[in-house]
Amino acid sequence: MTAPTRPVPRETAPLRVVVDLNRCQGYAQCCYAAPGAFEVRGHEILFYDPAPPHARRGEIERAVQACPVRAISLQVEIGDAP
């Protein structure tokens, strides 16, 4: 949830996601929360989109919350690139 004092996100910029794959244990909860952005391949390889579209924000936040080992980091408000 965005606090009102935070800057308004640029709707067009993709989100930034990174998963700590040392922590990840392939519980696959992210895949159910955000099927377009996370996928388990084989027994336990996690493939994910590190730059999902802003429209997926709700799903990705669900994935962040649902991860049993809290391995997913998300940045929603992307500042200006240099």
62 belongs to the binding site for other proteins (CB under 8 A): yes
27 belongs to the binding site for other proteins (CB under 8 A): yes
Find the binder of other proteins among 1, 5, 8, 12 (CB under 8 A).
1
The 3-class SS string of 13-79 reads CCCEEEECCCCCCCCCHHHHHCCCCEEEECCCEEEECCCCCHHHHHHHHHHHHHCCCCCEEEECCCC
Find the binder of other proteins among 9, 26, 53, 54 (CB under 8 A).
26
Task: Report d(CA 38, CA 47) in Å as an integer.
Answer: 6
Residues interacting with other proteins, by CB under 8 A? 1, 14-18, 20-22, 24-29, 31-33, 35, 41-45, 47, 49-51, 58, 61-62, 65-66, 68-70, 73-75, 79, 81-82
